[in-house]
Every structure is written in C-alpha cells, then in structure tokens.
Amino acid sequence: MSKELAKTYDPKGLEDRLYQKWMDHGYFHAKVNPDKKPFSIVMPPPNVTGQLHMGHALDNTMQDILIRFKRMQGYEALWQPGTDHAAIATEVKVTNMLKEKGIDKHEIGRDEFLKYCWQWKDEYGSRIMKQLRKLGSSADWERERFTMDEGCSKAVEEVFVRLYEKGWIYKGSRIINWCPKCQTSLSDAEVEHVDQDGFFWHINYPIVGEPGKYVEIATTRPETLLGDTAVAVNPEDERYRHLIGKMLKLPLTDREIPVIADEYVDKEFGTGCVKITPAHDPNDFEVGKRHGLEEINILNDDATMNDRCGKYAGMDRYEARKAMVEDLEKLGLLVKVVPHTHAVGTHDRCHTTVEPMIKPQWFVRMKEMGQAALDAYHRGELSFVPENYGKTYEHWLDNIKDWCISRQLWWGHRIPAYYCQDCGEIVVRRGGAPDTCPKCGGHHFKQDEDTLDTWFSSALWPFSTLGWPDKTPELEYFYPTDVLVTGYDIIFFWVIRMVFSGIEQTGKVPFHHVLIHGLVRDSQGRKMSKSLGNGIDPLEVIDKYGADALRLTLMTGNAPGNDMRFYWERVEASRNFANKVWNASRFILMNMEGRDVPKTVDPERLTAPDRWILDKVNQLAADVTDNMDRYELGIAVQKVYDFIWEEFCDWYIEMSKPVLYSGTEEEKLCKLAVLRQVLSDALKLLHPFMPFITEEIYCTLNPDEETIMTASWPVFREGWSFPEDAAGVELIKDAVTEIRNVRTSLQVPPGKKANVFVVSEDEGILDTFRRSESFFSFLAKADHTMLQKDKAGIGDDAISAVIPGATIYIPFAELVDVEKERARLKKEEERLQKEISRSNGMLRNEKFMSRAPKAKVEEEQAKLEKYRSMMAQVQERLAQLGA
C-alpha cells in the first residue's frame, strides 16, 4: 500500500486539508436527481453578526450527522445553509460602531445608515459560516442564502401582499411590547420573563362622596396609576358588590374613575380590587375594550413620563415611581409596601424591561393560520422528537394572539405599504410605490417607515431558499424538507411560524419532523453567558483537540430535548478515543503492508472469532441505523464507540495477534481481510459523528475509494449472522476476564504465565475452548490450557473462577512466589493493625469525640471500617497460604 497513516494522530494537520478536498470535489453539493430519493434539511440561519458558540456547534453537528448519514444511504442530500439579517442585533452593532466614530444615525439618514449596514454584513456576514466549516459542516455552500438577498426579499414582499389582500395583515392600534432602549415594538416571543425582586405597593383610592372611605388596590407599577381609567372587582365578590358603579378619586390627579365589575379579577389575589390601565397592560386593554374605557398613554418612547403626567413629566419611569410613592405617603394614601418576586418581561436581546404600550402597528391575523398549523399536527403531518414538545406546540397555538410584525428599525425588509400624501389612502403592492392613488388619483406617495420583524422572513426560510414564489425544480424536488433541528428555546419564535407560513403559502408543512435538542451548559449546569464569563469557544476546543473530538463530546450522552454539561475532561476522553482508533488502524495497516489482502472475506475460512466479530458489526449496523432513523444520535454513537473500543480493539485485534504473529500466510491474509472489512464498516458507522479521522483512515485502508462520504452505509447481512459462534466467543471472553481479575487481585506481573485448567461436564463447552485454544491461551497468558471434566490432577491451592457451565483453575504457586507473597501479606497485616489501633484510640477518646466536627468523626469511622475490611482479606489470603 502506497499511503501510510502518520505515526501520531494530529487533527490540526489533517482537518483543514480534508475539508478542502471535500470542497474541491463538490461532495456537499446536491442536485435535482430523479434517480435518487431526496433528503433535505434547512439550516437555522445564524445571525449575520454572529460568532460560533456551543449552541451553534451542537445544532450544526446534529444536522451534519443526519445529512452525512443520508448521503451514505444513497439519498440526494441537501443541507441548505444561510444567514439571517438579524434586524435588531445588526442595527445595534452598526449604531454603536457609528457612535464610536462620532456619527449619529439620525443625522446621516436612513439611506446612508443602510450603506453602513451592508458594509458591516459584507465584512462580518461570512465569519460564522467560515467557522462552521471548521466544525466539518457539509452544507451545500454553493446554495448559501441571506434573508435579505434578492430572492428572499421577493418572497417576503409576496407573502405580505398576499396576506394583506386576504385581510390577514392589518394595521391597528393595539397594546404591544415596547423596548425603550431599542425603541421598537416586539412580538410576545421576543419577550423573556425574568423573576425579579420587587414590591406590591398598597394604595388607597378615595371613594367620591364618602369621606374617609377608600378602595385599596395593590400594584407592582405605581407609576402607571396616572393612566388608570377604572378599578375592577369580581361581580361575585360579596365584599365589593356595593361599590360597583361608584366613582373613585384617582390619587395624584384631578380625575375620577369608575368601579366596574369584570370576571377577569381574581377574588383571591391581592386585595381583590384591580386598577385598570388599558394603555399599559394587555389584560387591562381587553377589560377596557369590554367596558369602553378611555386609553391613556402616559409614556414617551424612551420610557420617560409624557406631558400628560403633570409634575412627573420628563422623569424616567423609575424616577417617577419613587417620587409618586413619596407623594402618596405624604397624602396618607400609601397603606403598605410588601416585598414581592414576580416575572417581569424583558427584551431577550438587550434585557431592558419591556413596557406594554398602545401604538399603531402592523399585525398578522393568526386565527386561521394557527388552526391550520394545529390541524396539520393532529393529522400526523408533523412530529416532534421528543414527543412531549408536541404539547408545547399545541399549547402555544391554542393561545396564539395576532402577531405584531412591524419594527421601528431601518435595517430589514421595509413594509411594502405606501401612503397617498394627498388623501391618506394606504396602498399595499408589489414592486414599489404606485403611480396613481386608486382613491383620489394623486401621485405623491410615501412608504411606511417601519420594517418587518426578522422572524417574518425567517418563517419563509424552508421554501424561500428553494426559489419560491417561483416554481423552481429545487422547490419541487427538495420541499417539504425532512427534518428541522433546533433548540427548545426557539420553538415559538421560529418553528411554529415556519409551519403556518409553509402551509399557507405552499399547502404543505415545511418539514416532517422537528428534532429538538437542549442547551449546552457549563460544568456546573449554568447557562453559558457573557455576563457569567463561562462561555466555551468551540474554535478554541477545535484548535486544541480537533473538530472530531468536539463533535463526539457534544453527542456522547446526548438525548433529544435534554440539556448537557460541557467538561474539558470529556473532550480529552474523545481525543483519546480518536487516538485509539488511529493506533488500531495503524497496526492493521502495518500488517497489510506488502500483502495483497483480499477485498472481501472468505466465508469458508472464517474462525470462531472472525464469525463473532462479523456477527457483532452486522448487528451494530442494524441497531445504529434504527437509532439514527429514530433520531437517537447519542445512543447510536455510544454503540459505535463501545464496539470499536471494546469488541474490536480490546478483543478482536488481540484475538487476531496469534495468527498475525505466527500463522501461515494464507491465515494472515484471511485474518487481515476480516480486520479491514470490520474496520471499514465501523469507520462508516462512525463517519457522520467524526468525519475527519474516518475519512483519513478509510481512504488509506481502501486506496481505490475516493472518499468515505459517498461510501455505502453498512446494512444488515443475513450471511453474517453467527449466533452459535458469537455465544462461544462470549464464553471465552468471560473466562479471560475472570482470569485477568484473578491476576490483578494477586498483583501478578503482566509477563508471568501459568497453566490454566478448564473444568466442565459439558462437552460442548470444552469443544468451544478446544476450537479457541490458540487465542484463549494468548489472551489468558496460559503456558498450557488443559480441558477436563473433573478436578483430577489440580492441587488444592489452585485459584478458581466460575463462568457459566465451567470453572477455571490456576495453580497458585505458578502465579505467585508463595514465600514472597506471605512476607508481603505479613507486612500489610502489621500496617493495618497499627491503623486499626490508631483509629480505635481516636474513637474511644472522649475529648476527640466531644470536640471534633461530626464530619471528622464520620470520616474516622469510615477509615476504621475500611481497615477492618482490608484486614479480613489479608488474613483470609494468609490462611489460604497456610500461614
């Protein structure tokens, strides 16, 4: 063989080289191929501003595993990559960058600002995609897309216009989530509810016309009092029924507000009286609509109090809160302040506390599309792994509200709505502003200033990337996609929106399965974050240990939907496994050197160990394929890992050494054919998880083959099922394991050999050992192996070990120098006696027992127990030696 494996495994030396080879040969590119079944995955598009983190590494490793698996199974496998324009994140970064240069975005204007955004995208947009290559991602980079490229932008405009024409997109004043820092509206899914320590301020509202009488309310946001337009009580609440219809004097104002009855009020919560602020609370907004209440907005966009707030106007919301509470106390209207921990809505991007506010915004009507997404799930057109996330999906759709899609940003898809400057008519259309107003005939139009929520374009990703709204061959062939891989934290943001958008625009669900994974946490179980400084850079791991080691670490023990912890020790263990595979492969290749090893195994010349290992790898192929089909990737890789490390390296290669060292040339060729066949199959099964090392070894082992990437996936072969031989070798393994345990317990030097007696009345068992005598003796370090039906000729001092159906005996004197062992044990007995005396002395000492910490006493008691146990073993061994 011309090519050799390097003496030591060095991922740095081979990973970049192999990735370039794959790129040069176009192995990742998928084409419309009527002769093959398609399999497609769409990559969750990382932010164009993004940097690879552990979540990306896990998510993309799982996708790559599936795509490589299906590619080897013979599918035309497309992994569609791309990036998201990430409106808020990008706008914030570009705005901050301009600030550092002394440039104010509002001074330079929208068009100039957008030029900077595109420059930023060009400079940083490809960074994360290059980093994904370091991970080994085999995405079809020739098809890479961007949510604001020409095709995706066309799709966004088309969907907006279609939904508007259907009456499912509308503009209206409703309560929305407002971020005072980013100064934009947010959807419910972008609001993160965080537990914060706060207070309940109990405030008395005077009853008009009844001096000295009050209604007590409790609020966590006293500053919103200025926007109150009613106080509500439950109509069934006996305590307050007499108040319904009465007027209250709103503290700190000259206004009066009514007491109303509404079932929304929980009688058991707080005081049972609830202040209603329709412009600043979503529930109050609904109550206000039912009762025709006025909606009074008291906040500016930057969360300062507006000019309707009298003396508090211009104050920050929290500054106003403090001042108002002081004034209420002076008026004698502050009853009490009670500490209270409650969930506060914050913007998931900048973590600023969100303000519910009434603003005119664009909304998507969700009733019909939400129901369609629910129906598709109930019909079984969509499934979740694990299944319990289907309940989350149902719950969210059952409670879905109209989606606020307008954002007060410049970077993003601008809303294709045009306002006639002559009559105010709104025209929504494709291809830019109209020439003539359909209402007044005017010719002056201004486009809506707002852009669309980033998730509006992301929701179209599975089909917009394939050319929709045009009927492209790719769309016809690869859509719907097969599986979406994503974290549980964005099921609402993205998954549900893709489902209802896909059904509405194409008539089909965009993917058949949703594989949900957990988060990668630090070794203490904490979420990785910049604030904690506990993030692990995947590129640092790759640089130190290689991409294969990182990928294996991320998948070992991984279960769908479950979080996992990251330990550097586990990465080292993964690297050690790679070394094990490398060294075992080098051993096989060195023995193949200069030999014309057959490409297939000869079934007529197989030994029992050959049949055993073929049976094992055969069953492994069936099991791993089944696990992969069920998306049990962690279970699949663990089976491959265990097979390679234990069955193949620790057992079969060792069983093969007697033949490789002293067999005939014909026997060696037969053995090497099996070794190459099993290693090749094992490498194929490992390839999706560890693509680089498997490519290097496989192509060295099979120089006629170009790559492992397109090699055929192993399948179960009826001719490789050898249950009887497999059972026989398992019995031999049990015997060897027991012998090794005996030798270890007696501290027998590794090179020391001894006679081994196998005693069994079962002729079948003796025959199994007879057929396996050469490799059994080699593994058991046996001088000679004697097979017999009774104990005749075996001395009483022989050490025994029991296996199913037989007993193994080894003469003690052949394992150990009896005099030396007796002297060693005597010395150990004396040492243990001293330790036991010392421990007893301490535990009988009243001063120690009364003053020592409980943990110290327990530690000493545990030591005494351990010494006594060790003493019993030593004395038993001395008795066996006749001491």
- Spell out where 52-102 has E strands: 76-80, 82-83
**Cβ atoms of residues 316 and 334 within 8 Å:** no
Cα–Cα separations (whole angstroms), residue 643 to 504, 616, 682: 47, 8, 8
- Three-class secondary structure of residue 657 per DSSP: helix
DSSP secondary structure of 193-228: EEEEEEEEEEEEEEBTTSTT-EEEEEES-GGGGGG-
Beta strands (DSSP E) in 503-640 are 511-517, 520-521, 564-565
* Cα R_g (the chain), whole angstroms: 37
C-alpha to C-alpha distance for 269 and 298, rounded to whole angstroms: 26
Report d(CA 507, CA 468) in Å as an integer: 13
Q: How many whole angstroms separate alpha carbon 198 and alpha carbon 342?
A: 7
What is the SS3 assignment for 790? coil
Sign of the torsion formed by the C-alpha atoms of 160, 168, 383 and 391: positive
Q: How far apart are CA 686 and CA 703, in angstroms?
A: 19
Whole-number Å distance between alpha carbons of 193 and 343: 5
Phi-psi region at 243: left, alpha or beta (left = phi > 0; alpha = psi -120 to 50): alpha
The whole-angstrom separation of Cα 566 and Cα 544 is 15
CA 482 to chain centre: 19
* The pairing of beta strand 383-385 with beta strand 511-517: parallel
Whether residue 703 contacts residue 3, with contact meaning beta carbons closer than 8 Å, is answered with yes
* C-alpha 143: how far from chain center: 25
Other CB atoms within 10 Å distance of the CB of residue 600:
8
Give the 3-state secondary structure of residue 493: helix
Q: Could you tell me if 870 and 878 are in contact, meaning their C-beta atoms sit under 8 angstroms apart? A: no
Helix (H, G, I), strand (E, B) or coil at 508: coil
Query: Which among 512, 462, 521 is positioned nearest to 489, based on CA atoms?
Result: 521
CB 30 within 8 A of CB 102: no
- Residue 530 annotated as binding site: yes
For residue 652, which of 637, 674, 636, 670 has the smallest C-alpha distance?
Answer: 674
Burial of 779 (0-12, 13-18, 19+ CB in 10 A): buried
Give me the count of residues in the chain. Answer: 883
Spell out where 760-862 has E strands. Answer: 782-788, 799-803, 806-810
Do 607 and 725 meet the contact criterion of CB atoms below 8 Å apart? no
Q: Specify the pairing of strand 806-810 against strand 754-759.
A: antiparallel
- Distance CA(27)–CA(136), nearest Å, equals 13
The residue among 738, 698, 731, 716 whose CA lies nearest residue 612 is 731
| Alpha-carbon distances of 24 from 17, 21, 67, 119, 691, rounded to whole Å | 11, 5, 19, 29, 16
Q: What are phi and psi of 279, to 5 degrees?
A: -85, -5
Return d(Cα 835, Cα 756) in angstroms, integer.
38
Residues 453 and 404: beta-carbon distance below 8 Å: yes
Evaluated on CA atoms 456, 458, 463, 469, the torsion sign reads positive
| 842 phi and psi angles, rounded to 5 deg | -65, -45
Please enumerate, by residue number, every residue annotated as part of a binding site: 530
Residues flagged as binding site for ATP: 530
